[in-house]
Amino acid sequence: MHVRQAFFDLLDILEKDDFRDTDAILARMQTHYGIRHQCYVNMSSSGGKQNVLDVVHSFPEEFVNVYKRKLYAVDPVMQAALIGIKPVDWQERHRNEPAARKTFAVAADYGIGDTGMSIPLLSRGNEAALFSIYVEIRPEEWPRYRKEVIGELQVLATYLHSARRQGSQDAITADLTARESEVLTWTAAGKSYWEISMILGISDRTVRFFMTNARHKLGAVTNSQAVALAVSQGIIPH
């Protein structure tokens, strides 16, 4: 861990304006820092709901599925990281907050302990992002490890976040038409296909056609994700 040259090498790559290969950097970070699992996630809030704009992780899919269904809404570690500024130490939260123990009790079933942390990342508007790591070391070794790597990981995660946001913007390969933007805007306002068809004076089948096109252009899977992406990119008003 004391060999800092690897950190500077990673930073040199991330600082390049045309850098986009974040997967390769994540792999190198995982190796250099001895990270067992890591996760980057960027989210937006719209209409009282949180939508995932971008996520990449190495955690077991079984655990992620359980976490999303049963733990995410009540996990104080995640909530603190999404609204806070300083890194959230998992071990500290686990020991001092009874509410966090349920999350770590479930995580233990998948071989995940509390020797980890979540780093909030600077975001714009209604977005919130963070970078989390879990390291497979003895609990008593965690405080020293954390002190050694926290500064470097904060810097690298910030550049990684910037690169992934830029890559996400570049992925929009075509501008939305006026009709596609209108349909997205009314969808964001909570209108159904039928209601939008009445407002715009077109069939609900045509509304579905425009929404399908909008999702494809934005690289979204669901309507809510398309709305979140459009809002975050300033394509439609918040």
Q: Which DSSP string do the residues of 148-193 spell out, in sequence order?
A: HHHHHHHHHHHHHHHHHHHHHHHT--SPPPHHHHHHHHHHHTT--H
Q: What value does the mean pLDDT take over residues 171-187?
A: 79
Say how many domains are in the chain. Answer: 2
pLDDT in tens, 69-119: 999 989 999 999 988 999 999 999 999 999 999 999 999 999 999 999 999
Q: Would you say residue 238 lies in a domain?
A: no
Return the pLDDT at 177: 86
Q: Would you say residue 237 lies in a domain?
A: no
Q: Would you say residue 69 lies in a domain?
A: yes
Return the pLDDT at 186: 94
Distance between CA 81 and CA 151 in Å, rounded? 16
Return the pLDDT at 201: 92
**How many CA within 13 A on the CB side of residue 212?**
6
pLDDT in tens, 125-175: 778 999 999 999 999 999 999 999 999 999 999 999 999 887 665 555 447
Taking each helix axis from N to C end, the angle separating 193-200 and 204-218, rounded to the nearest 10 degrees, works out to 110
Check pLDDT > 50 for residue 1. Answer: no
The verdict on 59 and 119 lying in the same domain is yes
The verdict on 126 and 147 lying in the same domain is yes
The verdict on 162 and 111 lying in the same domain is yes
The verdict on 157 and 104 lying in the same domain is yes
Q: Would you say residue 116 lies in a domain?
A: yes
Return the pLDDT at 45: 74
The verdict on 21 and 138 lying in the same domain is yes
Distance between CA 51 and CA 44 in Å, rounded? 5
The verdict on 81 and 44 lying in the same domain is yes
Domain enclosing residue 136, as ranges:
5-170
Indicate which CATH number applies to the domain containing 51: 3.30.450.80
DSSP state of 73: G
The verdict on 134 and 186 lying in the same domain is no
The verdict on 187 and 165 lying in the same domain is no
Return the pLDDT at 168: 61
Q: Would you say residue 211 lies in a domain?
A: yes
Q: What value does the mean pLDDT take over residues 2-20?
A: 84
The verdict on 127 and 192 lying in the same domain is no
Indicate which CATH number applies to the domain containing 221: 1.10.10.10
The verdict on 219 and 151 lying in the same domain is no
The verdict on 135 and 209 lying in the same domain is no
Q: Would you say residue 39 lies in a domain?
A: yes
